[in-house]
Amino acid sequence: MKPSSNRPPLLLKAMALGRSRRLVRAGSALGLASVTLLSAGLVASANRPMTARILDFHGSGSNFWIRSSSGARADSVTRQAEIYDGGSLSVPDRNHWASFGFFGGDQRYRGLLVKTYDWGIYTFACRIQGHHIVGWSGSNGRPCSRGDHGIQIQRARADNSAGNPISRLLDFAKQASSISDLSIEPGEQLTLIRTQQSANNAAAVTVEVFQGSVDIEAPNLPQSGSVVAGQKYSSPSGTITPFNASAEANTCEMLRFLNPFYWSAENTPEEIRRPMADQLRQYREALGVSGQSPNLPGLEQGVVDEMNRARTNPALYAELLAERRQYFRGNRLELPGQVPLVTNEGSAAYDEAIAFLRATRTLPPLTASAGLSQAAQDLVAVQTREGGIGHGTGATDMSNRLARHGTVGCASGENVSYGSGNARDVVIQLIVDDGLPSRKHREIMFNPDFQVTGAACGSHPQWRSMCAITYANGYLEAGR
């Protein structure tokens, strides 16, 4: 039933704020190469992948270096290029990255993720130099595990004389050396490590274990053996020292690795996407960078669920907006059974939001955090009592509220909705972003780097109701 014309129309208001110590965005130049190892597809060794196929990269392809086992070199990297049979790829510096996956005949994910960066070299299938992050699932038959003698770190001496740095890097990969390789074999459980190697002294290697355990072996080392989560192994001294794995996991570098958005493309099959995302989720939960699960009230939980519906299936959410669009009368949205809503742009803002959603890539769902929700509640409590809009000042400033309850990784944001009475209306208001040309609220909600969220809602003396929603790419609760 159409609402009575004598009912006063509603007005809505929203505020957006995004901050970052080092905000990571899709396609930013971080000098990373992401490797996904999938099915073996080989008769001789079922654990070894067949080819590494490049899925994406950033920067000029001519600055990447690919070598095949025969020594042939390709100066240009393109999507769908392959590395196999002892071939290698090197990333020239921090301004380039490439993501690529390992595929076999059955296209089945085999539980190994690798990222190489900072002048790193990855040689197919289990040999590395430079800086890497390596994660094994807890499943059987993982590549580069015990059956493959693990990951081998080549500790050749680098030529640090003057000249082209890429040439020096490639020489580093080719040189024979009297220094033995370092072998890293994961335990049977879920395992995550980071290796770092000095460009000036290739024998100097550190291995940090974030989760699980690894056995490290190399001839002539003072000490070899098992290194467990929260420990760092240093070569050639052979010493094992503690480090704060959760704090290190809450950095830009590690949080990007732990984000499933960067491990699949739009056309990645669900049977590959799902186990990879689950493996990364287990890492985040074990390391605490997704905060602690809250017990949210119904409206707040509904807001989180509604945001995740929009992020995980934007095309379907576009149809929901298209259904609403038919009820515009000029700049008034007259939904059946509801008070008319006065808008700034009329149906034009809906048309733009629908086009955005239909063109947007599917994003991973957000995980609700108790600490982020409490930071949102701090703002709601003040504005419910005192009125006003915005993100607070002084002690109620967003950064101070977030810091009061935990530690943000390196990117955070906040949306505040005023005047919407249910979860769906809150989320649609922020997506349509009527009257705000920058569409900042939508940008924050669909930021692929954000993996954690919090929500709090309450009454407002001027706008009847409000909901504050906080976001971060990682969040360690206070006391973790």
Question: CA of 240: how far to CAs of 6, 208, 210, 226, 452, in Å?
Answer: 75, 10, 14, 10, 33
**Pairwise CA distance, residues 214 & 144, whole Å:** 12
- pLDDT in the model for residue 334: 95
Burial 88-126 (b: 16+ CB within 10 A, else e): bbbbbeeebbbbbbbbbeeebbbbbbbbbbbbbbbbbbb
Return the structure tokens found at 161: 């004389």
Regions of the chain with pLDDT less than 50: 1-8, 21-49, 157-166, 168-169, 172-173, 175-178
- pLDDT in the model for residue 41: 27
Return the structure tokens found at 12: 């809505």
Torsion of CA 115, 121, 124, 128, to 10 degrees: -80
- pLDDT in the model for residue 208: 98
Count other Cβ atoms within 10 Å, centred on residue 262: 21
CB 357 within 8 A of CB 320: no
Tell me the H-state helices in 178-297.
245-249, 252-257, 270-287
What is the DSSP code (8-state) at residue 360?
Answer: P
- pLDDT in the model for residue 104: 62
- What is the DSSP secondary-structure string of 386-417? H---SS-SGGGSHHHHHHHHEEE-SEEEEEEE
CB 366 within 8 A of CB 374: no
3-class DSSP state of 56: strand
Mean pLDDT rounded to a whole number for the chain: 82
Question: CA of 295: how far to CAs of 51, 88, 305, in Å?
Answer: 45, 48, 13
- What is the DSSP secondary-structure string of 207-240? EEEEESEEEEE-TT-S--EEEETTEEEEETTTEE
| Residue in the structure block whose two tokens are 């996991």 | 249
CB 302 within 8 A of CB 293: no
pTM of the model: 0.85
Return the structure tokens found at 407: 């530690």
- pLDDT in the model for residue 26: 26
Return the structure tokens found at 449: 């780097």
Q: What angle do CA 325, 314, 347 make, to 5 degrees?
A: 20
**Pairwise CA distance, residues 125 & 205, whole Å:** 20
What is the DSSP code (8-state) at residue 163?
Answer: S
CB 227 within 8 A of CB 239: no
- pLDDT in the model for residue 13: 62
